[in-house]
Amino acid sequence: MGVNSLHIELLHSCPCACAACDHRLRGDARLPRAALDAVLRDPAFSGLRLASFSGGEPLLYPGLAKVLGDAASAWPGAALVLLTSLYLPAKALALLRRLPPAVLRRLHIGSSLDGPGPVHDALRGRPGAFAALRKALADIQREFPGVSAGLTFTATSRNAAVFYETWSGARALGVPLGVQFLVPNPNTAGLELDAAARRALAAGLRRALEETPAASPAAADLRQALSFLGGGPTAACGAGVTFLMLAPEGEFYLCPFHKDIKAPLGAPGALRPPAAGYRGRFCAECFLRCAR
Ligand code: SF4
Ligand code: SF4
């Protein structure tokens, strides 16, 4: 099976200071353009179905419009995903205005909503983060109604009880809200879901599910989150095989939980797990629904 998803972190810098994020602890590296060009030329990725661009804040990466255009040419079968805080609405609009229609049609913008306004702002570490997100989404919907957008809620002990309220808020903004769970790092101590938070989150998920068409992708996402909370079945791990991560330092790494397992540019195959897989200490709790 070939690589179908490549997740590219362009830089660590970001204007936000999210409680659960460790990019600000990881230096100021920015992916060299030459490294990106090498990846764009690598035949290992010619069959990509998805290429995501994140950071840090990818809107701060110089020449991002050209990066997206070059990626669209190099990987004609790939959906292009931009994962941004949307804390900088003017930059988001400026980027979209520079993209040709053929790239815009393949672009999905992903961002995060971690609670109703005050909770979101507190978890982002920036007053005004919710207002900026709301403005950015409204601007994009008005000027680029064909561009797809979605939000993700990262469940923590600080927001689990307000999931349903957040989900309703996202609906009012006209975008779907998916769920993800913490990737442990030095900043996440104390944010883990305890039993009460898990119960509260499950109740919110069920309530949202009741209001979601059963056959929709949104319902599948909510059910998957409920299944994960309940310790339900997981899928096979695709780390290093079907999906790869590229760090701003210009090296591949295995998965969000195993940033220490790396491979140099030009040798992404070095990440391929042996028969037993990389079942490191985080695999048992991996929300990517991977091998246990
Ligand atoms: S917006 Fe993203 S990169 Fe920036 S601090 Fe938050 S989680 Fe980290
Ligand atoms: S199962 Fe393990 S190796 Fe696979 S993505 Fe999850 S944490 Fe990474």
Q: DSSP assignment of 105-119, as one string?
A: TTEEEEEE--SSHHH
Q: Is the pLDDT of residue 232 over 70?
A: no
User: What is the CA(157)–ligand 2 centre distance, in A?
Assistant: 23
CA distance 188 to 155: 11
Q: Give the pLDDT confidence score for residue 291 in this predicted structure.
A: 38
Q: What is the CATH number of the domain that holds 85?
A: 3.20.20.70
Per the domain annotation, does 126 fall within a domain?
A: yes
From 183, 252, 258, the mutation candidate for ligand 2 (largest count of ligand atoms within 8 A of CB) is 258
Q: Give the pLDDT confidence score for residue 267 in this predicted structure.
A: 86
Q: Give the pLDDT confidence score for residue 289 in this predicted structure.
A: 46
User: Going edge to edge, which strands form the sheet with 79-83?
Assistant: 177-181, 148-155, 107-112, 79-83, 50-54, 5-9, 243-246, 251-255, 258-264
CA distance 3 to 244: 7
Number of domains in the chain: 1
The bound ligand whose nearest atom lies closest to the alpha carbon of 286 is 2
Per the domain annotation, does 35 fall within a domain?
A: yes
Neighbour-count burial for 235-244, b at 16+ CB within 10 Å, e otherwise: eebbbbbebb
User: What is the CA(276)–ligand 1 centre distance, in A?
Assistant: 33
Q: Is the pLDDT of residue 186 over 60?
A: yes
From 57, 111, 114, the mutation candidate for ligand 1 (largest count of ligand atoms within 8 A of CB) is 57
Q: What is the percentage of the chain residues whose pLDDT exceeds 70?
A: 92
Q: Which residue has the higher pLDDT, 98 or 290?
A: 98
Per the domain annotation, does 150 fall within a domain?
A: yes
Residue nearest to atom 7 of ligand 2 (CA): 283
Residues touching ligand 1 (Cβ under 6 Å) are 14, 16-18, 21, 23, 55-57, 85
Per the domain annotation, does 292 fall within a domain?
A: no
Residue nearest to atom 8 of ligand 2 (CA): 255
Q: Give the pLDDT confidence score for residue 277 in this predicted structure.
A: 52
Rg (CA), the chain: 18
Show the tokens assigned to 222: 């909510």
- How sure is the predictor about 184, in pLDDT bands with cuts at 50, 70 and 90? confident
User: What is the CA(145)–ligand 1 centre distance, in A?
Assistant: 25
Q: Give the pLDDT confidence score for residue 238 in this predicted structure.
A: 82
Residue nearest to atom 1 of ligand 1 (CA): 85
Q: Is the pLDDT of residue 260 over 90?
A: no
Per the domain annotation, does 290 fall within a domain?
A: no
Atom of ligand 1 nearest to the CA of 23: 8
Q: Is the pLDDT of residue 279 over 80?
A: no
CA distance 265 to 254: 13
What is the extent of the structural domain holding 112? 5-285
Q: Give the pLDDT confidence score for residue 199 in this predicted structure.
A: 96
Per the domain annotation, does 123 fall within a domain?
A: yes
Residue nearest to atom 2 of ligand 2 (CA): 283
User: What is the CA(203)–ligand 2 centre distance, in A?
Assistant: 27
- How sure is the predictor about 281, in pLDDT bands with cuts at 50, 70 and 90? low
The model's pTM: 0.94
Query: Closest by alpha carbon to 85, among 146, 21, 27?
Result: 21
Per the domain annotation, does 191 fall within a domain?
A: yes
User: What is the CA(187)–ligand 1 centre distance, in A?
Assistant: 12
- How sure is the predictor about 175, in pLDDT bands with cuts at 50, 70 and 90? very high
> With the CA atoms of 230, 232, 237 and 243 taken in that order, what torsion angle do they form, in degrees rounded to the nearest 10?
-60
**Residue 2 class from Cβ within 10 Å (0-12 exposed, 13-18 middle, 19+ buried)?**
exposed
pLDDT tens-digit series, residues 124-166: 999 999 999 999 999 999 999 999 999 999 999 999 999 999 9
Atom of ligand 1 nearest to the CA of 22: 8
Mean pLDDT of the chain: 92
